[in-house]
Amino acid sequence: MIKSMGRTEALRHVVSDRKDAVLRRSLEVVAGPEGMLVSGPESEVQTYTERVISEAPGAASAEVVPLRLLPGVPGPSLLRRRSGAFLKVAPSARGILAARGVLPGSDGIFRSTLRGANAIRAAHLHWITSAISPRSIINAHATFSMMALRTAVRDTESAIDRVGGTADRVLALAEASRVGDVVGHHRALRRLVRTVDETGVLTSADWAAVAPIGPMLEVTVERLRAHARRALESIPRDDSVPDRARNLAAAIDDNRLGETLQLLLVAEESVYMWQQLRIERVRQAEPEHLHSVIASSREQLGEHSDRDRDIVRALREQLGSLGSVRVREIHRLGATHRLRRSISQLQDDLEEFTDSRDGQLAGWLDDEDPALAAALQEMRRRATGVGRAARGRLGQVGSQLHSIARPKHD
C-alpha cells in the first residue's frame, strides 16, 4: 500500500499508525484528593492498577468503574472501547509513587505518554496535561465524584447484618427516630442506583420518590456521631476500675456503641448513594448546574471524612485513658480484665468502622501518638491474647485490595 503513495503521504501514514498505536495503549487519569480515575484499554488499565497496588502493598485499592460512567473519548471506535478503574492510594505512598513516575505528581487531568513497546509493564510513564474539551473535563470530574462517593463506604452488608433488629433502638438512643427506617432507605436507594446503572435513566418519578430522603439521612448521620461521642465521654476517666468497667459495659450493652458505628456506616453510604442520584438527575435534566452540584458533593464527602476521622481519634484517646490502671488498683484483677475486654471489643468496632471508611488510605491515624497505639495494642493483647492482637490496627492488608477484574455487585 505504501509503495503506491508519494514519499510525504507514506510518511504521514506511518506517523499516523504509530500515533494510533500509542493512543491505543494510553491512559487518561483524573487525579484528585480522594483518588484517581484511570481509563484506557482494559488490559492496560488492569496492568497499571495492579502495578500501583503491588508497589504500595496495603496502601492502595482499586474499584471497577461502570461502563456508563466512563467519559467519552473522541476518535476511532477502537479508542472508545475503554475500561476504567478508580484508584485510592494512601497519602504517604502517593508521594513515593509520584517520585517514581508511576502516578501523576499533582491533581488534575493527565494523559500518559509511553516509552517503548512495553511501557506500561515497565512502568515508564511520562504524565502530561491532557488537552480535552471543557465538556469532557466536566464529564470526567462527574465520573470522578461518582466513584469517590461509591467507594467512600464498603462492606455495609455486614453492618446491616450486625445491626439486625436493633436499628430502631439505636435511632431512639441517638434521638433520630423521626427520620424513618435507615436500613429501608438504604435498600431503596441501592435498588435505584442499580437500576440507573443498568438503564442509564433516572426518571422524574423515581427521583421525586427519593429526593426528600437526603436531608433526613444527613440529620441521622450527625446524630449517630453525636451519640457515639456521648456514650464514651460520659464515663469519667478518674473513676475506679470497677466503675469504669461497669460503665464501659453499659456503653456497649445499653447504649449500643458498636451498633451505632455500624448504623452510621449504613446511613453514610445512603447519603452517598443519594448524592450519586442527585448528580445523575442534574446531569440529565439541568446540566448547566452540574459543576456546582459536583462541588457540593465533594465538599460533603470531605467534611464527612474529617468528622469520622475526628470521632475515631477521640474514641481511641478515650479508650486509652479509660484503660489506665493505677498502681493502687492492680489487685482488682477481675475488674481490670473486664475493663480491658470491653476496651478490646470497642477497638474491634472502631477498626471495622475505620476499615469500612478506608481510614488507612486516608491517613486518619498517621500522626497519632505512637504511645497511644502501643497502649491500646497492649490492652488488647492482655485481654484477648497475642493471636488476635496480630490482626493489626486496621485489619488484614488483603482487605484493602479489591479485584479490578470484575465489577462490584450490590
Q: Please compute, for residue 221, the number of CA atoms within 13 A of its CA located in the half-sphere on the CB side.
A: 22
How confident is the model at residue 381, as a pLDDT?
Answer: 79
Cβ 32 vs Cβ 91: under 8 Å:
no
pLDDT at 191: 96
Write down the pTM of the prediction.
0.80
Rounded Cα gap, residues 98 and 230, in angstroms: 42
Question: Tens digit of pLDDT per residue, the chain (410 long)?
Answer: 334 444 444 334 333 334 444 445 678 888 888 889 998 888 888 888 998 999 998 899 999 998 888 765 444 444 455 789 999 999 889 889 988 888 888 888 887 765 544 444 444 677 877 766 677 777 778 888 999 999 999 889 888 888 877 888 888 888 876 656 888 999 999 999 999 988 889 999 999 999 999 999 999 999 999 999 888 888 888 888 888 888 889 988 998 999 999 999 999 999 999 999 999 999 999 989 998 999 999 999 999 999 999 999 999 999 988 877 664 555 566 788 888 889 889 999 999 999 999 998 888 988 888 888 888 888 777 776 533 433 443 343 333 334 343 444 44
Q: What is the CA radius of gyration of the chain?
A: 25
Distance CA 214, CA 291 (A): 19
60 contacts 400 by C-beta, under 8 angstroms: yes
How confident is the model at residue 332, as a pLDDT? 63
Take residue 356 and report the three cell numbers written for it.
469500612
